[in-house]
Amino acid sequence: MDFRPLIFRSQWLGIALGILSYIRTVIFNTLVDYFEISADKKYSVGVVLTVVFWFLVFFGYNKVRGRI
C-alpha cells in the first residue's frame, strides 16, 4: 500500500491547522488588549474563544464540503 498521498495530505492539514492556530492567537491577543481583560478572566476567555473558533472552522469546512 502506498502511503505517500496520505502523508502529503496530513502535511498540508498540519500546516493549515498551524496557520489557523496562529490566527486564533492573534484574534485572542487583540481582544484581550482591546477590551483590557484582566489576567484572571483571560483563561476563561481563551477557552471560550478557542471552542467557538474551532467550531466555526469545522462547521464551515463541513458546510463547504456539503456534509451539512
* Domain boundary assignment for the chain: 4-65
pLDDT at 6: 67
Q: Is the pTM of this model over 0.75?
A: no
Q: Which three cell numbers stand for residue 19?
A: 496557520
Residue 9 confidence (pLDDT) above 80? no
CB atoms within 10 A of CB 35: 10
pLDDT tens-digit map of 27-43 = 888 988 898 888 888 88
pLDDT tops 70 at residue 60: yes
∠ CA 54-55-60, nearest 5°, is 100
Which residue in this structure is represented by grid cell 483571560? Answer: 42
